[in-house]
Structure 1
């Protein structure tokens, strides 16, 4: 079914006990800017092997309450970390966090399956899909997506269904980077361009990260960007693409 209205999809990445305070700030910022708590969460089962959700009943209850309130939950890797990044993408497009870029199919399937089981058992419903850390997928990850029949996946440029390759949305995701002054500057510049250049897009995706909350200029840019698109696009869920 074709999308008959313009949609704004907002997601919070790296949802983990490690970043609970930052996630709360991003939820608040989204609600303040858009007037809607409609968003998606990308959940990391054990961020950098330092924050296992399985051992944190209090955070499990929070995930369940967010899901009960209508927030969509995506599996976002298992640990989010790649200890041996390879190639240009692995070394330069992320700070060692392209976990699913170099995994073979068997290991990618194992981590993806275990993450899915953990999150679905926690929230009491199916996950919305899988998004690889840093949006980086290797051949093994793509095979795992199909083998596990993940309902939806996302990268920098599209949202698609792995089983048959059907594309639900196209266009660059708007996100911010806080790792260095140059990355902060470039992400601020892209967001300023996107507020005008991506207005004609039927579907606009905005991705927020815990690190954004530590940089006031990024939070101000996020606020301006969400407010701008909320005037032209309806805050929506990824399931609305279906």
Structure 2
């Protein structure tokens, strides 16, 4: 019988959120173990300064990578500055995220340029290849998917699957468990979904749970995150995306 996997990830890893990460990382690590979670790095979060302009944070990032954490490129600015063509794209951009679907409306050329620059910046910082790419808000346009395939990115994910954009091989299916902290209503709905998920996904072969630095601003949310992550960690073995893509456990 194949063991069940838990893929835990921390999004929006950037010097801008350094203090929140100081609080969030130890909570996740205490439950899943050192190096058993992914870090999604934004090279120039909201255009507030390049990652490389913060050498102390770069050293921390390299330390996490040395400890075994998978480092993903997570967009470049995390800000959607595109003019979207088509009703579906405009609806996604306005309803599924607060203006942060950076890779939803980019051209292939612009998406490739951001991927190349972001990947080079992170890889020079951590001294190893990135593990893959996750678009901000998990939103991709067709051009950005083509850019990822052209740049030999082999592991990406959205709300419902993890796959290889080069050949469309799907590594895992199922909804990601994540949280929203922008309002009381979003916090309440996130907690409800999280509690349902620990029941509905109890037998899923792969569970993904993603957290964000702003989650620590809500004690209610953090209590639920710790509960859900602990519940899943008892039924699913903390694993890496590389384990998933190769079909192995380490």
Q: For this structure pair, what is the TM-score category when the shorter chain's length is used for normalisation?
A: over 0.9
Counterpart contact for 1:84–1:96, Cα < 8 Å: no
Distance in 2, Cα, partners of 1:35 & 1:119: 23
Mapping of residues 64-75 of structure 1, within 5 Å:
64-75=62-73
Measured after TM superposition, the shift of residue 27 of structure 1 is 1.4
1:184-199 matched pairs, under 5 angstroms? 184-199=187-202
Cα separation, 2, equivalents of 1:171 and 1:109: 28
TM-fit CA distance, 1:32: 2.7
My pick for the range that moved more, 84-93 or 146-155, is: 84-93
Q: Identify which of 204, 207, 227 aligns with 2:207.
A: 204
> Once the two structures are superposed, what CA deviation does each residue of 1:12-55 show, in whole Å capped at 9, x if it has no partner?
00000000121222211112334554100000000000031121
The correspondence for 1:27, drawn from 4, 25, 28, is: 25
Determine the structure 1 residue equivalent to 2:87.
none
Taking structure 2 as the reference length, the TM-score comes to 0.93
RMSD: 1.3
Is the CA contact (8 Å cut-off) linking 2:36 and 2:240 kept in structure 1? yes
Could you say which residue in structure 2 is the equivalent of 1:48?
46
- 1:59 aligns to what? 57
2:171 is aligned with 1:168: yes
Distance across 1 between alignment mates of 2:35 and 2:181: 24
Query: Counterparts of 2:69 and 2:34 in 1: how far apart (Å)?
Result: 11
Partner of 1:114, secondary structure, is: helix
SS of the equivalent of 1:26 reads helix
Q: TM-score, normalised by structure 1?
A: 0.96
Alignment gaps of 5+ in structure 2: 85-89
Q: Is the Cα–Cα contact under 8 Å of residues 34 and 68 in structure 2 kept in the other structure?
A: no
Match of 2:217 among 205, 211, 214: 214
Other-structure match for 2:235: 232
Asked if 1:146 is matched to 2:149, the reply is yes
